[in-house]
Structure 1
Amino acid sequence: MVNATQVPLKIRQGFVLVFVLIIALPVLFFSVSSAYYSSLVDATENNLEAHLYSLISEVEFIDETVQMPNTILAPELNRIDSDTFALIYQNNDLVWYSESAVSLEFNPNTIDSETGASEFKQVFYQGDAYWQLSLTVILGNAEQSQQAVFILLRDDKALTNVLSEFTDTLITWMLILGAIMTLLMSLGFIWNMRPLQRLDKEIKAIESGKKERLSFSYPVELQAITQDLNLLLESQRRQKERYRASLSDLAHALKTPLAILKSSPMADDNDAQEQLDRINSMIEHQLKRAATGGTDTWKKKTAVAPVLESILNAMKKVYHQKAIEFESDCDESLNFLGDKTDLMEILGNLIDNACKACQASVQVKVTYINKRLIFEINDDGPGIEPSDRKKLLQRGARLDTYESGHGVGLAIVADLINDYQGTINIDSAPIGGAQFIIEFKYD
């Protein structure tokens, strides 16, 4: 399941915009349309009811017969092309109809209902929809009276035509509203992203070593973050300086008594000399570690090709007597996210070991695959037995058969690679010797 914080901000902004345009606005459109149609139905009922009571007021009941004036008060019922019709029934017989109902091709169903009870509903005649209001009344007096059913009809097309005009107008305004909302949200997104983009540029400047801290020209929401980041950077810088100073002081302090011991009679003993050499190697190791200082949380970007070319040129001069054939494959665009000194330490040690162990060929290949920067160093030497490969990478381990080849400087290499959260593996090289594979994963 993907966490919302793992989704890029631009994509989340797009989701909000799509939700508004694809879901919210259509729902609003159908809600408004439905509400408007309901109001049209209510207005139709009120209009028919007004016509009904107008007709009742104009009825004359003479000799048990309903009689109406030639022209009634409701103008809609006097027009032949009207969409509103009125009819009066007595004993289920049609006794009167309005001028508008002259062309009516059907007779509405009469309703036997209680006197004074009205009913409003949608009905269908010959496949067309109508809104019908009916009312049963008693006409006449106590001596002479009779029931009559008043029926008024309104064609539903009158409502749908009005609704169609309304929806066309509503669609136009919804499109305008959607365009305005899209523009405002885009402008708001761009405006809100400006401080984040500026923060991103400053962080990249710190990574490249161009700046040491973040500025404070940010909105209130980001000021706490920038202050915390500056505190972290300052704390890391002080800690790194203390670490390097302490380590350097300790290593230099040990070098003087070590030099005295190496010039003393104790050095004549082979075992003692071997232990002194090991101590000297460890001190040199720690001095180099103090010089590189490990890796920074804010990693710098180092071009790989120039560093590799520099190392290979140096190795050609150092091992010119072996006439080693060097092959390298590295794209100019590849970058190592770290300090240049650390990269030279890693590649320098591995290539130097390969030169010591090889017969006549050393190959170096650098690739970037699936967000992984991969280094491959191959030689055509005797190789390393599978059972010894893990042991060779362990701190303090040493393979006597490779004391002049692989194994020298691997403690430094392993530590540096581990600091950058990389991996190192030993395999058999395609050209017959050992193959060292280093991978750094960049998300």
Structure 2
Amino acid sequence: MRQLSLRLRSISLAIVLLAFFAPFTVVILDEAYTDSLTQAKMSELRLMNLGLLSAFELDGDMPYMPEILYEEQLNLPGSGYLGIIVFRDKVIWQSASALEYTFSPPEIDVAVGNELFLESHTPSFEENASFFVYAFTAEFASSRDFEPVRFYIFNNKALFEDERNTFLNTTWQWIFTLCVALLIFIIVGISLVLLPVRKLIDEISQTSSGHKRQLEARYPVEFDSLKQSINGLLQTEAAQRIRYKNSLGDLAHSLKTPLAVASGSKGLTAEVYEALQQIDKIIKRQLKRASAGKLGWQQAINVLPVLHKLADAMDKVYQDKALTIELELDENTQFKGDETDLMELCGNLLDNACKAAKNRIIVSAETKNSWLTIKVEDDGPGIPDDKKLHLLERGTRLDAYTEGHGIGMALAADLVSIYEGRMRIEDSALGGACIILEFPNHD
């Protein structure tokens, strides 16, 4: 499973956090606003009730209330505010705003001198609506004695809910706008924070492709140790490669002279001379194998020019056969490795194909899914199925096959192995053999 980039991870985390933050914030604001609005509503109804209490008079058993009250909402029908007064379990007065209603004494008992505030109440006079209720009971002197008089203020919650919904809608709009703005700032901030990382990755890629020898850009102090470590690794690798090649060159020169002297000695039998020549070939092959291989930090090379050179060379070598060598590949097809190794590898395979071919050879190459595939096909006699696997086995005498495919196959197999590639032998559509090379071509 492919891992998400740091940028996508950070943005995803920010989106998740904002997805929790927005509703949570709205809920908190809604609770705070509702509580505040409810407290304000209780204070408002308390003042109205106090207005009723101050305006009410009881003359014996006769109640008295002015026609016009100081609280305007109780004078206006449809205002949503209703006031009633209950004496001796009868509604003795109702506000002008409640003329359209017929009241019965509410089943809300409040002790004398106490108040009661209900945030949600469904009264008998309007069962399809919810009301705030504020109730207060006071004592007044009547013809009998001091008797309780109950004062009630009802307020329809529809206006309250409309105001609350307006607040919620506005809050959601601003929270959404804020979240979008925060997300943009987070994305920009993440991009700025990750800018040195992308810069480091780009410079490492340039170094890997051979355009730079070491990291040179300036980075935040957190990357200093990493930069020094990578540069130290590059310098150590380059120094080891130089020492390795020098050692191989010294070894080659050291063995060359004794072998030349031994081979030039008089009186050598044919078996001894052949053995010395075989030793010389083995040394050359092993030295070539040891010095070959892909560099960890180098520039990719184009395959087409190399194949053109090889095809021109083969046309001259095998001009008596009048072979047709076709190259089928894009000019941008690249091989991530050493040009000499590619020349050696394709040269051996193409030479074998020319020896085995009758008239036609096709060399094709393509890059797909970060793999470079090179095919060399001929119209020769082909390779029997029972010998295909033996040709790829280490230690097999590959030059024993007279079809021509044995010569150079050992070195080809070694080079493919060094580049962590794959090598297969199949039948060609031309009738002969098809040698397939596959190399990982990613950075």
TM-score, normalised by the number of residues in structure 1: 0.86
Q: Bigger CA drift: 188-197 or 109-118?
A: 109-118
For residues 299 and 151 of structure 2, the distance between their equivalents in structure 1, rounded to whole angstroms, comes to 91
Corresponding residue for residue 302 of structure 1: 301
| Correspondence list, 1:156-175, <5 A | 156-175=157-176
- Aligned CA distance change for structure 1 residues 47 and 274 (closer, same or farther; 3 Å): farther
| Correspondence list, 1:339-354, <5 A | 339-354=338-353
* Shift, 1:81, TM fit: 4.7
For residues 266 and 86 of structure 1, the distance between their equivalents in structure 2, rounded to whole angstroms, comes to 138
- Aligned CA distance change for structure 1 residues 120 and 392 (closer, same or farther; 3 Å): same
* Shift, 1:382, TM fit: 2.9
In 2, are the aligned partners of 1:349 and 1:410 still within 8 Å (CA)? yes
The alignment partner of 2:215 has SS state of coil
For residues 62 and 336 of structure 2, the distance between their equivalents in structure 1, rounded to whole angstroms, comes to 104
Corresponding residue for residue 280 of structure 2: 280
In 2, are the aligned partners of 1:255 and 1:283 still within 8 Å (CA)? no
Corresponding residue for residue 16 of structure 2: 19
| Correspondence list, 1:323-334, <5 A | 323-334=322-333
* Shift, 1:233, TM fit: 1.0
- Aligned CA distance change for structure 1 residues 244 and 266 (closer, same or farther; 3 Å): farther
* Shift, 1:265, TM fit: 5.2
Q: Does 1:118 align with 2:116?
A: yes
Moved over 6 A (4+): none
Q: Does 1:424 align with 2:423?
A: yes
Partner AA of 2:247 in structure 1: S
Partner AA of 2:121 in structure 1: V
User: Please, which runs of 5 or more residues in structure 2 have no aligned partner?
Assistant: none
Corresponding residue for residue 259 of structure 2: 258
* Shift, 1:218, TM fit: 0.7
Partner AA of 2:316 in structure 1: K
* Shift, 1:400, TM fit: 4.3
For residues 256 and 440 of structure 1, the distance between their equivalents in structure 2, rounded to whole angstroms, comes to 37
For residues 36 and 78 of structure 1, the distance between their equivalents in structure 2, rounded to whole angstroms, comes to 29
For residues 432 and 105 of structure 2, the distance between their equivalents in structure 1, rounded to whole angstroms, comes to 103
In 2, are the aligned partners of 1:266 and 1:273 still within 8 Å (CA)? no
Corresponding residue for residue 412 of structure 2: 413
In 1, are the aligned partners of 2:294 and 2:336 still within 8 Å (CA)? no
For residues 267 and 381 of structure 1, the distance between their equivalents in structure 2, rounded to whole angstroms, comes to 40
In 2, are the aligned partners of 1:247 and 1:286 still within 8 Å (CA)? no
In 1, are the aligned partners of 2:110 and 2:135 still within 8 Å (CA)? no
The alignment partner of 1:121 has SS state of strand
Q: Bigger CA drift: 8-17 or 204-213?
A: 8-17
Corresponding residue for residue 33 of structure 1: 30
In 2, are the aligned partners of 1:357 and 1:382 still within 8 Å (CA)? yes
TM-score, normalised by the number of residues in structure 2: 0.86
In 1, are the aligned partners of 2:60 and 2:141 still within 8 Å (CA)? no
Partner AA of 1:128 in structure 2: A
Partner AA of 2:438 in structure 1: E
Partner AA of 1:110 in structure 2: P
The alignment partner of 1:128 has SS state of coil
* Shift, 1:330, TM fit: 0.3
For residues 66 and 239 of structure 1, the distance between their equivalents in structure 2, rounded to whole angstroms, comes to 113
For residues 301 and 149 of structure 1, the distance between their equivalents in structure 2, rounded to whole angstroms, comes to 97
In 1, are the aligned partners of 2:349 and 2:409 still within 8 Å (CA)? yes
Q: Does 1:102 align with 2:99?
A: yes
- Aligned CA distance change for structure 1 residues 148 and 204 (closer, same or farther; 3 Å): same
* Shift, 1:329, TM fit: 1.0
In 1, are the aligned partners of 2:303 and 2:335 still within 8 Å (CA)? yes
User: Please, which runs of 5 or more residues in structure 1 have no aligned partner?
Assistant: none
- Aligned CA distance change for structure 1 residues 112 and 22 (closer, same or farther; 3 Å): closer
For residues 130 and 249 of structure 2, the distance between their equivalents in structure 1, rounded to whole angstroms, comes to 96
* Shift, 1:216, TM fit: 4.6
Deviation readout 1:221-264 (Å, 9 max, x if unpaired):
22222221111111211222222222222222222222223233
Partner AA of 1:221 in structure 2: E
In 2, are the aligned partners of 1:303 and 1:334 still within 8 Å (CA)? yes
Q: Bigger CA drift: 379-388 or 419-428?
A: 379-388
Partner AA of 1:202 in structure 2: E
For residues 267 and 151 of structure 2, the distance between their equivalents in structure 1, rounded to whole angstroms, comes to 132
In 2, are the aligned partners of 1:304 and 1:336 still within 8 Å (CA)? yes
For residues 361 and 267 of structure 1, the distance between their equivalents in structure 2, rounded to whole angstroms, comes to 44
For residues 23 and 78 of structure 1, the distance between their equivalents in structure 2, rounded to whole angstroms, comes to 47
- Aligned CA distance change for structure 1 residues 428 and 89 (closer, same or farther; 3 Å): same
Root-mean-square deviation (CA), in Å?
Answer: 3.0
Deviation readout 1:65-123 (Å, 9 max, x if unpaired):
544344445444344453322222335432222233334x4647712435246251313
Q: Bigger CA drift: 359-368 or 182-191?
A: 182-191
In 1, are the aligned partners of 2:352 and 2:407 still within 8 Å (CA)? yes
Corresponding residue for residue 51 of structure 1: 48
Matched-pair identity in %: 32
* Shift, 1:17, TM fit: 5.0
In 2, are the aligned partners of 1:87 and 1:150 still within 8 Å (CA)? yes
In 2, are the aligned partners of 1:134 and 1:149 still within 8 Å (CA)? yes
- Aligned CA distance change for structure 1 residues 47 and 117 (closer, same or farther; 3 Å): closer
For residues 173 and 243 of structure 2, the distance between their equivalents in structure 1, rounded to whole angstroms, comes to 69
| Correspondence list, 1:263-412, <5 A | 263-264=264-265, 268-270=269-271, 272-289=272-289, 292=292, 294-402=293-401, 405-412=404-411
For residues 439 and 203 of structure 1, the distance between their equivalents in structure 2, rounded to whole angstroms, comes to 25
The alignment partner of 2:130 has SS state of strand
For residues 338 and 102 of structure 2, the distance between their equivalents in structure 1, rounded to whole angstroms, comes to 94
- Aligned CA distance change for structure 1 residues 381 and 59 (closer, same or farther; 3 Å): same
For residues 137 and 267 of structure 1, the distance between their equivalents in structure 2, rounded to whole angstroms, comes to 140
The alignment partner of 2:295 has SS state of coil
The alignment partner of 2:396 has SS state of coil
Q: Bigger CA drift: 39-48 or 403-412?
A: 403-412
Q: Does 1:87 align with 2:84?
A: yes
- Aligned CA distance change for structure 1 residues 346 and 151 (closer, same or farther; 3 Å): farther
Corresponding residue for residue 238 of structure 1: 239
* Shift, 1:214, TM fit: 0.1
